[in-house]
Each structure stands twice: as structure tokens, then as C-alpha cells.
Amino acid sequence: MKKPMTSRVVALVACCALLGLASSAIGLSEQFQGRIFQGEKLKPVDSQPKLKVGDKAPDFTLPSLSGEPVSLHQFLGKKNVVISFVPAAWTPVCSEQWPGYNIVKGLFEAADATIIGITTDNIATLYAWTEQMGGVWFPVLSDFWPHGQVAGEYGVLRSGGVSERALFIIDKQGIVRYIDIHDINERPNLETLIGELQKVK
């Protein structure tokens, strides 16, 4: 006779299934065929780190697609925050990374967390791009002007004017708990990010 699965095992199975779905998001950029800029492979990292785990995260206020400015401090005491810097709209890896977060929204909610997506693109470009990908559930912010100021404060502004592909987990007290300045040519591992986020919760 089989033993009934515990709620923890059920949750683990569900989590693995969601992560598997998110991995399949790599094919979502097919809807962009003919619209995605296919650039050359870039130097993996082209910036100087400024922050380390345990530092207070620099506050910022940036314009968002909603029309309302979004500040990091508005989440203090309320939500853990994952800041997702991506280099540019209409590029292959970026157009796979954020749709993957759509699929596993529940895992972020379970960790009492939200994502803030940031690029150095302007609002009009970000609007067209996210509409094409079917929208995203998290706020998308423009670090266009003063150009790359927030990316610079986080130590992830590349010499060419775009940000690194970088993830920062900020806890409810505003402290940096995890940093992944990733190879710009590759998607960060979602399972790793969720695992680090669960440690914060």
C-alpha cells in the first residue's frame, strides 16, 4: 500500500514541474522571429562590482510602464525583491528570461517576493517589447535617463551603455542577500534563483 505524499513532497513536485515549464520558455522567443536583433557574442562581464552580500541596497526611483514611478523603498517591510537587470529589449536571451518568470509567478509569491525588471532602454521601447511577449506580471523600469544611473550604482553598467545580466535579491529590510552577475550571453539558472530566494524567506 502506497503512503500518501506529504504536503512538502507535493509542493516539491509542483515546484519541479513549474521549473520545467519555465525551462521551456526558451522557445517563447519564437514569437519574435524576424524582430529579434541577433548580435555577436559579448564579453561575459564588463563592469566593476560595487556591492556585496550584506550591503544596504541603493535606493532608486525610476519610471515604469504603468506610468507611475517605482521606488525600491516602497517594498521595505512588505516584500522581498528580486532586481533583474537585463541588457536590452528585442534581444534573444532577454526575450526568453522574463517570460520564464511569468510561468513561475507562484514561486515568487510563495517566497513573499516580487521582481523588478530594469533595462537602460526607454519606456516606448520597453512597452513595445513587453507587449510583444504578452506582458509580464512585475514592474518594468527604464534606467534610460540619466542613462544607466541605477545600473551604475549597482556596479552593473557595461562600458557600451547597457547593463549586465544581473540578479540581486533584496530582503524586506533592504539588505542585499544574493548577487548573480551572469555571463551576459546566457540565461541565469531559475532553479538557483528560487533556491536562494527561499533561503531569504
Nearest residue to 167 (alpha-carbon basis) of 107, 128, 108, 118? 118
Query: Cell numbers at residue 191, please?
Result: 532553479
Burial class (CB in 10 A: 0-12, 13-18, 19+), 99: buried
Among 81, 94, 115, 157, which one carries the catalytic annotation? 94
Give the type of residue at 104: V
What does DSSP say about strands 70-71 and 61-62: parallel, antiparallel, or unpaired? antiparallel
Contact status, residue 96 vs residue 29, Cβ threshold 8 Å? yes
Nearest residue to 108 (alpha-carbon basis) of 70, 80, 141, 73? 80
* 94 belongs to the catalytic site: yes
Give the type of residue at 135: G
What does DSSP say about strands 113-119 and 140-142: parallel, antiparallel, or unpaired? parallel
Catalytic residue set: 94
